[in-house]
Amino acid sequence: MGIPALLKNPFPESQDPEHQEIEQFLQYVESRPYQYSVWGLFDVDPGLLLGFASLCITYLIVVIQFTHLL
């Protein structure tokens, strides 16, 4: 199997039942992405988690900088 074939399909088709179950699971997850809404106001997604982490880190940096002034 050549490199172009591996790049096109890194996991060649297999008759293994576990492989087929994993393929079906991945297809299911791709067709139904994770969506959760809090009281219909905003969606909970990876972007919200990243934004919250960014906010916390920024707040921590500001607090550390102000403690050096005291």
Question: What is the spatial distance between Cα 10 and Cα 18, in angstroms, rounded to a whole number?
Answer: 17
DSSP at 6: H
pTM of the full predicted structure?
Answer: 0.46
Burial of 65 per CB tally in 10 Å (0-12, 13-18, 19+):
exposed
The pLDDT tens digits for 12-50 are 666 677 878 888 888 888 887 777 888 888 888 878 889
Residue 12 within any structural domain of the chain: no
Residue 46 within any structural domain of the chain: yes
Structural domain span for residue 49: 37-67
Residue 7 within any structural domain of the chain: no
The count of domains in the chain is 1
- Ordered alpha helix ranges (H), the chain: 3-8, 17-31, 46-67
Residue 3 within any structural domain of the chain: no
